[in-house]
Amino acid sequence: MEPLQKAGILVEALPYIRKFSGKTVVIKYGGNVMLGDHLKLAVAQDIVLLRYIGLNPIVVHGGGPEINALMERLGKKPSFVNGLRVTDAESMGIVQMVLAGKVNKDLVSLLGQCGGKAVGLCGVDAGLMEATRLSPELGFVGKVSRVNPGILQDLSAAGYIPVVSTIALGEGGESYNINADSAAAELAVALGAAKLIMLTDVEGIYEDPGDRGSLVSVLDARRAREMIAAGMIAGGMIPKVEACIRAAEGGVNRTHIIDGRVPHSVLLEVFTDTGVGTMVVA
């Protein structure tokens, strides 16, 4: 490509840079889309770029596959109820080690290689997320009861990129495993974020899952609930859509479900008019 064309593309980004300058963007980056070094690097570059051009990105990550792998090595069989991991005390320790000790720090390191000053946290740090038990049968699976976003705001204001593992603190000091989609939504609401981006392993939401041409660009909360009720949105997509509804109704104007398998999809979302994937609105 000609240098001239390249410059033109930078200039095309200008209106979007202006629009989001100084705004907070929460990016949910799930374990299922941490696919291959090349793609992970592209995600990290996007996030660092957002930071340098004046946005405040906050990264929220999961890490299901890596948790499963360690559990299996330790002879524990992962089990799920409605897509949520049954988490006994021992599993909770494993979840925390994998998320806060491995996935988080790997992401922090990758962002650092791209020139970002990232700081890894979990909900326990500075009391960021408090939780209550979701249901007795799930064990240490929690529901966020309160967000204390001060540490994220302090770090953002000082130029850092916070990276959050979705573990929260219970009233008695115990840790809870929080669904990462839901945690991202709660953080976005508490931060008054301008945007919530869910990186997934699908293109977005389809009217007809069998028809790739039926991708929905904008989905309002009412229709989203109908589609869930009708089974048109199903499985692991349900918590993602519910998280978007929660965020949209909590004041986050733009919530997006996008395809994390496409390199630089975060930039494409932020820097194009039509965006990519499906936007859920209140």
Amino acid at 192: G
Which listed range, 27-35, 52-60, 200-208, 232-240, lies at the site for a copy of itself (CB under 8 A)?
52-60
Distance (Å) of CA 123 to CA 94, 99, 130, 134:
16, 11, 7, 16
Residues 239-268 binding a copy of itself (CB under 8 A) are 262-265, 267-268
Residue 84 engages a copy of itself in binding (rule: CB under 8 A):
no
The reply on whether position 110 binds a copy of itself by CB under 8 A is yes
Query: Residue 24: CB partners within 8 Å, gap ≥ 6?
Result: 55, 56, 57, 58, 156, 188, 191, 192, 193, 194, 195
- The least distance separating a copy of itself from the CB of residue 228, rounded to whole angstroms, comes to 30
Question: To 10 degrees, what angle do helices 237-249 and 180-191 make?
Answer: 10
- Active centre residues (catalytic): 28, 31, 64, 181, 240
Name residues contacting a copy of itself, limited to 206-225 (CB under 8 A): none
Which listed range, 108-116, 192-200, 211-219, 252-260, lies at the site for a copy of itself (CB under 8 A)? 108-116
- Report the length, in residues, of the chain: 282
Note whether 232 binds a copy of itself by CB under 8 A: no
Size of the site for a copy of itself (CB under 8 A): 72
Q: Which residues are registered as beta bridge partners of 177? A: 141, 167
Please pick, from the candidates 35, 39, 53, 238, the single residue that binds a copy of itself as defined by CB under 8 A: 53
Question: Residue 120 interacts with a copy of itself (CB under 8 A)?
Answer: yes
Token reading at 118:
């990232």
Q: Are 268 and 274 in contact (CB under 8 A)?
A: no
DSSP labels for 69-124? HHHHHTT----EETTEE-B-HHHHHHHHIIIIIIIHHHHHHHHHHTT--EEEEETT
**Contact flags string 134-153 toward a copy of itself, x per CB under 8 A:** -----------------x--
* By the rule CB under 8 A, 49 interacts with a copy of itself: yes
Q: Site residues for a copy of itself, window 61-80 (CB under 8 A)?
A: 70, 73-74
